[in-house]
Structure 1
Amino acid sequence: MDIQAEKDAIRRQVFAGRLDIDPTEKAVWDAAVANRILSLLPEGTRVVCAYVSVRGETGTEELIRKLRASRIRVALPRVIPGPERRMRFFIPRRESDLEISRFGIPEPRMSEEELGDPTCPVIVPGVAFSDRGARIGYGAGYYDCFFAREPGHMTIACAYDFQVFPEAVHPVFSADPRDVRMQKLVTPSRLYTF
């Protein structure tokens, strides 16, 4: 099995699927995902690590709005240049405090407050997921490296239903033992708990 070729094929399939989503349907799906994630958060949650969705990812705008309306602070990731593949989370005060990274992703400025909670829930993006909690990302490994350094976080992945694949049919999901598996996976129609 050519692992990289299969991962690339899955990525192409998902990217094509994301381009075909009707905007009205996407809004309904994103709201369903946001509500399901909110119901999973432990009572007393004060901060959640999230991400700003881009390029057809499962939308987080509604989720971030609802978190802030619930007085839950939202930390967003910033990639730190260097060979260690470091990613740190900062808590921007306003959406206007974000800047576009070299990857074209809105990131908080380093002058913002840095996250100081090694156990808060983290909402994890991804290209594809298995029905057993494995994840295929974009290939840079930033989230895997982050969780290797801070393994105490609750991991909640979110995706559209067509991004979930049966691992028994696609063993590529279990090919790399360094990949961090998710504890929860939320889609518009389903909650997976691992």
Structure 2
Amino acid sequence: MVTKRDIRDEVSGKLESMSDEEWRGWSKEIAKHLISSSLWKRAEVLALTISRGKEVDTYFLIETAWKQGKKVVVPRTNFKNREMAFYELTSFDQLEDGPYNLKEPNLRRCSAIDPKKIELVIVPGLAFDKNGSRLGFGGGFYDRFLPQTKAQRIALAFPCQIVPLVPTEPHDCLIDHIINPDGFLS
């Protein structure tokens, strides 16, 4: 049986070997599908992460949301308590360096938001399957956060991040939709 560690190692290697040209092109295609979706158009409060490395680029999505008058909220993690809260971001200048090369909202410059007000959550992850199962980065932050909101959950994934089956545990939260460069997979 394939383990979570096996999937993490395989997908991480494929992401690292992706060319910058592929990364930019696929990120643009994924963004185009998301922005043209009714889920995006209806949502006024969007939760996104600040992408890093070879994750699907979220900077363009955040800028687009601001231009469209949407409220963008981004997470700040508390590694000691293994919790995450979201804060409104109105400028990239409100970000500061966090652990693990994360960019997080500065608490003195950003306001917290009630998770129940979030209408659409772009959920990061390393690998996904077409059943909506997600393999995160191992901290369990989203699996603890997602039950606090009724927002639609969307994952953005490059082709190499779609795997036949992600092993799950009872506490793992499913994703409602996955978007890859070809469009919605689910």
TM-score (norm 1): 0.88
> Alignment length, in residue pairs?
183
Kindly report the root-mean-square deviation, in angstroms, between the aligned alpha carbons of the 2 structures: 1.6
Q: Offset of 1:131 from its aligned partner? A: 1.4
Q: Offset of 1:46 from its aligned partner? A: 1.5
1:180 counterpart residue number: 173
Larger RCO, structures 1/2 (Cα 8 Å, 6+ apart):
2
Q: Is the 8 A contact 1:30 1:62 kept in 2?
A: no
Correspondence list, 1:69-148, <5 A = 69-83=67-81, 85-111=82-108, 112-118=110-116, 119-148=118-147
Percent identical pairs in the alignment equals: 27
1:170 counterpart residue number: none
3-state SS of the aligned residue for 1:68?
A: helix
Q: Is the 8 A contact 1:31 1:63 kept in 2?
A: no
CA-to-aligned-CA distance 1:91-128 (integer Å, 9 cap, x gap): 12210110111221000012311123514100011000
Q: Is the 8 A contact 2:133 2:168 kept in 1?
A: no
1:157 counterpart residue number: 155
Q: Offset of 1:43 from its aligned partner? A: 4.2
Q: Offset of 1:38 from its aligned partner? A: 1.5
CA–CA separation in structure 2 for the residues paired with 1:108 and 1:154: 23
CA–CA separation in structure 2 for the residues paired with 1:81 and 1:93: 24
Q: Name which of structure 1's ranges 12-21 and 134-143 shifts more when overlaid on structure 2.
A: 12-21
Pick closer, same or farther for the CA change 1:143–1:35 going to 2, 3 Å.
same
CA–CA separation in structure 1 for the residues paired with 2:92 and 2:53: 18
CA–CA separation in structure 2 for the residues paired with 1:113 and 1:151: 18
Q: Is the 8 A contact 1:144 1:179 kept in 2?
A: yes
Structure 1 unaligned blocks of 5 or more: 168-172
TM-score (norm 2): 0.91
CA-to-aligned-CA distance 1:38-81 (integer Å, 9 cap, x gap): 12325442220001111211111221121112111211100024
Structure 2 unaligned blocks of 5 or more: none
